[in-house]
Amino acid sequence: MSAAAIEVEGLGKSFGDVTALDGIDLTVPRGTVLGLLGHNGAGKSTLIGVLATLLRPTRGTARVAGHDVVADKSRVRRSIGVAGQSTTVDPAMSGRDNLLVIARLFGAGRRDARARADRLLDLFGLADAAGRPARTYSGGMRRRLDLAVTLVRRPEVVFLDEPGTGLDPVSRLDMWEMVRGLTGLGSTVVLTTQHLEEADRLADSITVLAGGRVIAAGSPEELKGRIGRRTATAWFATDEETVTAHRALDRAGGLRPVCDRPHRSVTTALTRDRDLADLVRALDSAAVEPARLTLAEPGLDQVYLALMSERRS
Ligand SMILES: Nc1ncnc2c1ncn2[C@@H]1O[C@H](COP(=O)(O)OP(=O)(O)OP(=O)(O)O)[C@@H](O)[C@H]1O
């Protein structure tokens, strides 16, 4: 058995003159979460479509759960679950029956099906509503049931499209926790998202697509370390000190400080190793002492913006 849940090499997909995927290479280790990021039209849905065997690639290869997406289509289909298609849920049936029917359909014995259904109902906070018809569920409950139905077959690889979208903040946090829980059950998860916080919180690795190509890949921490910038913010007691500090840092050369007078703070991106020392020295020689000095690690949103502005320039 291959160690990777997904292996993609030189994958291309064209629709007539439109090149949707242009030579994608990608490996997703088993039991991990991959976050696929990119603007509209970047190629995310097309990549998922090829991996889920709904689209045939124009060139290159892709293996999912060890099976080739073209030569072993039916094996791939048996190994995957695609959530976000609420069509899999029958609204007239109870939450529990929805799960039992699918588990039985995919070969689980009666007792095993019941055990799987109960575990998922518990995990997804649906145990109390398990006997009610799904049509009486709230939007958030339906999304959770939809995901449970996808999982009751025990797919090796799960594709999730924007799992947090349309959920209130509390349900979104619950959903994130559940997605993380899936890897504990042995599944590999691929999620597409436009929400950087979602990717940051959930993904072990992130692949950023643009124009059908991979423009950045790595763990959230790696991407932040490689592309993002730490910042230092000095906070002052008076407006006068704030202005003096801003001038001093501006004169220090290469620091590019940004002044926020209403909050009496000056922020500087730390792009070089010596920037922090330069900042402290500049403040010292101007005889202004900050009331507070805070350091902030880069966020994934900053990384994404930097990647996109690089592409524009
Ligand atoms: N069936 C199709 N026929 C023609 N062009 C297509 C088809 N499907 C996708 N495309 C084109 O392929 C490119 C990639 O589209 P895709 O839907 O994969 O992007 P995406 O990253 O999923 O975008 P979104 O976030 O908007 O869903 C786009 O230029 C799109 O117009």
Q: Tokens 């689980």 belong to which residue?
A: 108
What's the one-letter identity of residue 213?
A: R
Nearest-CA residue for ligand 1 atom 6 is 15
Ligand 1 contacts CB of residue 20 (under 6 A): yes
Q: Tokens 């979460």 belong to which residue?
A: 33
Contact 146, 169 (CB under 8 A): no
> What average pLDDT does the segment 49-70 reach?
96
Nearest-CA residue for ligand 1 atom 25 is 40
Nearest-CA residue for ligand 1 atom 29 is 41
Condensed to tens digits (0 to 9), the pLDDT of residues 125-149 reads 899 999 999 999 988 888 889 888 9
162 class by beta-carbon count within 10 Å (0-12 exposed, 13-18 middle, 19+ buried):
middle
The alpha carbon of 62 and the centre of ligand 1 are apart by a number of angstroms equal to 19
Ligand 1 contacts CB of residue 211 (under 6 A): no
| Closest-lying ligand 1 atom to the alpha carbon of residue 21 | 14
How far is the C-alpha of 42 from the C-alpha of 110, rounded, in Å?
Answer: 44
| Closest-lying ligand 1 atom to the alpha carbon of residue 43 | 18
| Closest-lying ligand 1 atom to the alpha carbon of residue 16 | 4
Consecutive H or E run containing 71:
none
Residue 71 CB contacts under 8 Å (≥ 6 apart), including other chains: none
DSSP, residue by residue, 11-43? EEEEETTEEEEEEEEEEEETT-EEEEE--TTSS
- Cα of first residue to Cα of last residue in the chain, in angstroms, is 44
- Check whether 205 has a pLDDT greater than 80: yes
| Closest-lying ligand 1 atom to the alpha carbon of residue 19 | 12
Ligand 1 contacts CB of residue 210 (under 6 A): no
How far is the C-alpha of 155 from the C-alpha of 188, rounded, in Å?
Answer: 9
Per-residue pLDDT band for 68 (boundaries 50, 70, 90) equals very high
The alpha carbon of 20 and the centre of ligand 1 are apart by a number of angstroms equal to 6
Condensed to tens digits (0 to 9), the pLDDT of residues 15-28 reads 999 999 999 999 99
Ligand 1 contacts CB of residue 40 (under 6 A): yes
The alpha carbon of 68 and the centre of ligand 1 are apart by a number of angstroms equal to 23
> What average pLDDT does the segment 65-73 reach?
96
Ligand 1 contacts CB of residue 27 (under 6 A): no
> What average pLDDT does the segment 249-258 reach?
86
**To test the ligand 1 pocket, which listed residue (45, 50, 51, 193) has its Cβ within 8 A of the most ligand atoms?**
45
CA atoms within 13 A on the CB side of 11: 31
- Check whether 218 has a pLDDT greater than 60: yes
Residue 225 CB contacts under 8 Å (≥ 6 apart), including other chains: 298
What pLDDT does 309 receive?
67
The alpha carbon of 175 and the centre of ligand 1 are apart by a number of angstroms equal to 27
Nearest-CA residue for ligand 1 atom 4 is 15
Q: Answer with the residue of higher pLDDT: 290 or 150.
A: 290
Ligand 1 contacts CB of residue 41 (under 6 A): yes
How far is the C-alpha of 122 from the C-alpha of 114, rounded, in Å?
Answer: 12
Global ipTM: 0.96
Cα–Cα distance list, 308 to 43, 103, 228, 268, 272 (Å): 15, 43, 13, 22, 22
**SS3 for 99-153, per residue?**
HHHHHHHCCCCHHHHHHHHHHHHHHCCCHHHCCCEHHHCCHHHHHHHHHHHHHCC
How far is the C-alpha of 263 from the C-alpha of 235, rounded, in Å?
Answer: 8
Closest CA to 51 of 209, 187, 159: 159
CA atoms within 13 A on the CB side of 22: 13
β-sheet bridge partners, residue 59: 12
β-sheet bridge partners, residue 64: 6, 67
Contact 103, 116 (CB under 8 A): yes
